Amino acid sequence: MSDYEENLNFMYEPIPKRFWSFESDEPFKKCLVCSSDLLTESQNYFIEKAYNKGEVIFEYAMCFECRESLSDELSLKSRQLIENYFAEHIDFEERRRDLMSNPKFDIEHWLDKCLVKRKKIDPNSEYQIFAQCVENDLAYAYAPYAVSGEAIDDIIKLLSDETLGTLGDFTDKYLGIDMPQNLILI
Ligand SMILES: [Zn+2]
């Protein structure tokens, strides 16, 4: 976790329906990878949902430890390139200040523009949404956010074949989907 994340005062709200599982119509209960219980063990976890033409293409929740392990499997070079890309295009602090100036936490307000491109997300386009949660709550901090297909294409171009292979094996095993169009945002 970066210094920036440690210094944030996270604000919490019960997980809005937008981040519930589309499949079960309930909040996610288990980590996709290790099946640990997300709702009862003070667990930090992440939720990602990918949309295309208004439909959910894939969705999952993953505990912090499993996300770290997956990230560790990626090449250092790819991780640095992703980090640099984000640092170059996103000012998380500014974004957060902006969003926090609205006293009401409106989830759609946090998701209406691409985190990277800062353009309105077309609900019929390909895009992905991402949230950080603890037990029953969603944390408002650097997430939640949405990333457009355009930005995902940019990120894919940065990744080595090795990294794309690792992510491809992972999504194939756990989500049954092909890469790279459906990049998971780790
Ligand atoms: Zn896990």
149, 122 Cβ separation under 8 angstroms? no
* Tens of pLDDT, residues 69-127: 998 888 888 889 988 999 999 998 888 888 888 766 789 999 999 999 999 999 999 99
Decide if 183 is inside a domain.
Answer: no
CB 83: neighbour CB atoms within 10 A?
11
3-class DSSP string for 4-58: HHHHCCCEEEECCHHHCECCCCECCCECCCCCCECCCCCCEEEEEEEEECCEEEE
Decide if 186 is inside a domain.
Answer: no
Decide if 185 is inside a domain.
Answer: no
Cα(94) to ligand 1 centroid in Å equals 31
pLDDT at 8: 53
Cα(46) to ligand 1 centroid in Å equals 10
Cα(181) to ligand 1 centroid in Å equals 24
Cα(28) to ligand 1 centroid in Å equals 12
108, 18 Cβ separation under 8 angstroms? yes
- The closest alpha carbon to 97, from 167, 8, 14, belongs to 8
pTM for this prediction: 0.89
- The closest alpha carbon to 56, from 18, 5, 9, belongs to 18
Cα(171) to ligand 1 centroid in Å equals 14
Cα(153) to ligand 1 centroid in Å equals 27
Cα(74) to ligand 1 centroid in Å equals 17
Cα(13) to ligand 1 centroid in Å equals 22
Decide if 27 is inside a domain.
Answer: yes
Contacts of 21 (CB under 8 A, 6+ apart): 27, 28, 59, 61
Cα(150) to ligand 1 centroid in Å equals 29
Provide the domain limits for residue 37.
3-175
CA angle 74, 76, 81 (to 5 degrees): 100
* Tens of pLDDT, residues 34-77: 999 999 878 899 999 999 999 999 999 999 999 999 988 888 88
For the chain, what is the domain count?
1
